[in-house]
Amino acid sequence: MFWQRPVDQALSRLKENVHAPLRVVLWDGREVALSDDPLVTVTLKSMDAASALAQRSLLGLAEAYVEGRADVEGSVLEAIKGVEKITTSGKRRLYDAENRIGGHTKRVDRDSVRHHYDVSNEFYALWLDPRMVYSCAYFQREDDSLGQAQLQKLDHVCTKLRLAPGERFLDIGCGWGALVIRAAERYGVDATGITLSENQHRLANERIRAAGLEGRCRVVLEDYRDHSGGGAYDKIASVGMFEHVGLENLPVYFGKVRGLLREGGVFMNHGITTSDILSRSVGMGAGEFIDRYVFPNGELPHLHLVVREMSDQQLEIHDVECLRPHYAKTLALWSERFEARMGEAIAAANERTARIWRLYLAGCAHAFDQRWVSVYQILATKQVEPGRAPLPLTRDWMYRVP
Which of the residues are catalytic? 364
Q: What SS3 string covers the chain?
A: CCCHHHHHHHHHHHHHHCCCCEEEEECCCCEEECCCCCCEEEEECCHHHHHHHHCCCHHHHHHHHHCCCEEEECCHHHHHHHHHHHHHCCCCCCECCCCCCCCCCHHHHHHHHHHHHCCCHHHHHCCCCCCCCCCCCCCCCCCCCHHHHHHHHHHHHHHHHCCCCCCEEEEECCCCCHHHHHHHHHHCCEEEEEECCHHHHHHHHHHHHHCCCCCCEEEEECCHHHCCCCCCEEEEEEECCHHHCCHHHHHHHHHHHHHHEEEEEEEEEEEEEECCCCCCCECCCHHHHHHHHCCCCCCCCCHHHHHHHHHHCCEEEEEEEECHHHHHHHHHHHHHHHHHCHHHHHHHCCHHHHHHHHHHHHHHHHHHHCCCEEEEEEEEEECCCCCCCCCCCCCHHHHCCC
